[in-house]
Structure 1
Amino acid sequence: MTDHMIDHGLGGYGLGGASAHDGPRAVRAWRRLRWGLCALSFCAIPAFYVELTVPTPLALSLSRTLYVGMFAGFALSFTWLAHLSRRPKTLLANNWLDLLIALGAALSTGFGTPPWQPVEWLLRLSFMGVVALRIVLSLREFVTPNRLMWLLLAGALVLAMAGAGFYWLEPHVHSYSEGLWLAFESSATVGYGDIAPTTPASRVFAAFVVLLGYGMLSLVFASIAAAFIGKEERALRREMHRDIKHLNDEIVRLHAELKALRQTIDAAARRSDAAAGSVTRTGE
C-alpha cells in the first residue's frame, strides 16, 4: 500500500497528510514526518498518567514538559509542511486532527494539578480520546485482518503493557500477574468481578483497554475467519477456472464443427450449381 493510498483513506479523519498533487517536497517531507508525529502522540499517555497518579511538583513538571514537546513537535512539523506545500491552507485543513492534538497539548500545559474539576476531566479525557484515535488510525495499515501473526504479536504486546499499567495504577493489584489478569478481563469484556478498577486513573485506563482490546480481539477472530473463507474461495476459484476452461474447449470444438459443416454445405452447393449448369448446357 502506498503512502498516497493510506493518506487518502484517512483524509476523512483529519489525517490526510500531503496530497499526491501537492509539491513533491511537501510529499517527501510528510513521508518522513508522519511516523514521528505518531511517536509524539504516545507522549500524551505518560504525561496524562504521571500527572494524575503522582501529583508532585516534579511529576507536574515532567508531564508539562512532555506536553510542551508534543506541541512543539506538531507545530514545527506543520509549519515546515505548510512552507513546502503549494496549497498550505488545504494541507492544514486536511490534517485538522493533528492541529487539534497540538492545540490540546498546548492547553494541557496550563491546567492545574489534580483533583480536576468536571470540566477539566471532560477536556482531558476528550484530548486523550483524540490522541488514541490518531494512534489507532496511524497504525491501521499494520492491523489489517489478513496479518494474523502480526495481530497476535500486537495483541500479546497490548496485553503485557495493559497488565503493567494496571499493576502501576490499581492499588488492589498486588502483582504483575494480577494486573495481567485484570487486563485480560477488561480486554475480553468478561468482567468476573474478582478484581475491578477502583481509582479514577485505573478506571480511565480500563476504558481504553476495553476499547483497544475489544477491537484487537475482533481483528484476530476476523483474520482467522478470513483464512478459512479464503481457503474455500481459492478452491471455488480453481473449480471455476476448470469449468471456464472446459467451456472454452467446448466452444472451440463447436466452432470447428460449425466451420466443417459450413464447408460441407458450401461444397454441396457448388456441386449442385455445377450439375445444374451442366444440365442447362445439355438442354441447349
Structure 2
Amino acid sequence: MDDDSLQARWERRTEVPLALASLLYLAAYGILVLARTLPAFWRDLSLVVLLAAWALFAVDYAVRWRLSGRGLSFVATHWLDTLVVVLPLMRPVRVVKLYEAVRRRRGEGRLTLYTRVIAYAGLSVGLLGFTGALSVYHFERGAPGATMRTFGDAVWWTCSTLATVGYGDIAPVTPMGRLIAVGIMACGLALLGTVTGSFSSWLIQVFAREDEERPPGG
C-alpha cells in the first residue's frame, strides 16, 4: 500500500518539477562554465536560473524535513539529500526518477527490478560524467601546471575515472579538482558494484529457475 503521509504526498507532487529544475540547473551551470563568450545578459540569466533552482532544492529539503517531524535525525537518515543541497551539482542524478514518475502518472506498470537498476545506472553514469566533467573543468582550467586544458580533456578524464581505469595522462592539480575526483571514483565504484551485483543476481535466478523446471534425472 502506498504511503499517504504528508511527506510522501509532497514528494510525489514535486518529483517531476524538481527533476526538471535539476536539468535547468545543469544547463545553466554548463552555460556559465563553457559559454564564456556569451553576452553578459545571457550569463546573468543563467546565474539567476542557477540560483533559483538551488533555492528550490533548499525549500524542498526544508519542507520535507518539517513534514517528517523527525528533527535532526532527518539529516542523518537523508544524508544524500543533505549532500545534494550543499553540492547541488549532484542533484541532476536524481533525474533518473523522472521516467518512473511519468509512468506511474500514466498508469503504466513499473519496470522490473533488474531493468530499473541497469537503466538507472546507465542514466546516472551519463549525468555523473557530464556534471563531473563540468565541475572539474571549472576548477582546473587555467590552473598552474594543469593538464586538463579543454572540456574534451575533462570528459576523457571523467570517463576513465568512472570506469576505474585511470590512465594518468590527465589528472587534476587543484584541491577542489582532486576532491571532485575522489567523489567520481567513489561513484564509479558504487555504480560498477551495483550493476555487477544486479546482473549476477539475475543470472543466479535464471539458472535456479532452469534447474527447477528441468525434469528429474534430466
Quickly name the TM-score band, shorter chain normalised.
0.5 to 0.7
Structure 2 partner of 1:67: 51
> 1:65-104 maps to which residues of 2 (within 5 A)?
66-72=50-56, 75=59, 91-93=67-69, 96=74
> 1:58-207 maps to which residues of 2 (within 5 A)?
63=47, 66-72=50-56, 75=59, 91-93=67-69, 96=74, 127-128=86-87, 132=90, 139=97, 146-147=114-115, 149-151=118-120, 153-154=122-123, 157-158=126-127, 160-161=129-130, 164-165=133-134, 166-167=136-137, 169-171=139-141, 172-207=147-182
The separation in 1 between residues aligned to 2:15 and 2:50, in whole angstroms, is 19
The CA deviation string for residues 2-53 of structure 1, in whole angstroms up to 9 with x for no partner, is 7x3xxxxxxxxxxxxxx4255xxx8655422133235545677666x969xx
The separation in 2 between residues aligned to 1:159 and 1:126, in whole angstroms, is 16
Q: Does the Cα contact within 8 Å between 1:189 and 1:214 map onto a contact in 2?
A: yes
Q: Does the Cα contact within 8 Å between 1:185 and 1:192 map onto a contact in 2?
A: yes
Letter in 2 for 1:192: Y
Query: 206-215 or 158-167: which moved more?
Result: 158-167
| Residue 70 to residue 170, structure 1, CA distance change in 2 (3 Å) | closer
Give TM-score, length-normalised by structure 1.
0.45
Cα drift, residue 186 of structure 1: 1.8
| Residue 177 to residue 40, structure 1, CA distance change in 2 (3 Å) | closer
Cα drift, residue 232 of structure 1: 0.9
The separation in 1 between residues aligned to 2:192 and 2:68, in whole angstroms, is 34
Cα drift, residue 187 of structure 1: 1.6
Q: Mind listing any 5+ residue stretches in structure 2 that lack a counterpart?
A: 101-110, 142-146
The separation in 1 between residues aligned to 2:193 and 2:112, in whole angstroms, is 11
Give SS of 1:221's match.
Answer: helix
Give the counterpart of 2:15 among 8, 20, 34. Answer: 34
* Structure with greater contact order relative to length (CA < 8 Å, sep ≥ 6): 2
The separation in 2 between residues aligned to 1:39 and 1:168, in whole angstroms, is 23
Q: Does the Cα contact within 8 Å between 1:151 and 1:220 map onto a contact in 2?
A: no
The CA deviation string for residues 191-211 of structure 1, in whole angstroms up to 9 with x for no partner, is 332211112443333233222
Give SS of 1:146's match.
Answer: helix
Q: Does the Cα contact within 8 Å between 1:159 and 1:180 map onto a contact in 2?
A: no
Cα drift, residue 77 of structure 1: 9.3
Q: How many residues align?
A: 186
1:226 aligns with 2:214: no
Q: Does the Cα contact within 8 Å between 2:161 and 2:184 map onto a contact in 1?
A: yes
Structure 2 partner of 1:20: 4
Give SS of 1:193's match.
Answer: coil
> 1:46-61 maps to which residues of 2 (within 5 A)?
none
| Residue 153 to residue 191, structure 1, CA distance change in 2 (3 Å) | closer
Q: Does the Cα contact within 8 Å between 2:140 and 2:177 map onto a contact in 1?
A: yes
Letter in 1 for 2:86: F
| Residue 237 to residue 93, structure 1, CA distance change in 2 (3 Å) | farther
Give SS of 1:225's match.
Answer: helix
Structure 2 partner of 1:270: none
Q: Does the Cα contact within 8 Å between 1:167 and 1:179 map onto a contact in 2?
A: yes
Cα drift, residue 234 of structure 1: 1.2
Letter in 2 for 1:70: W
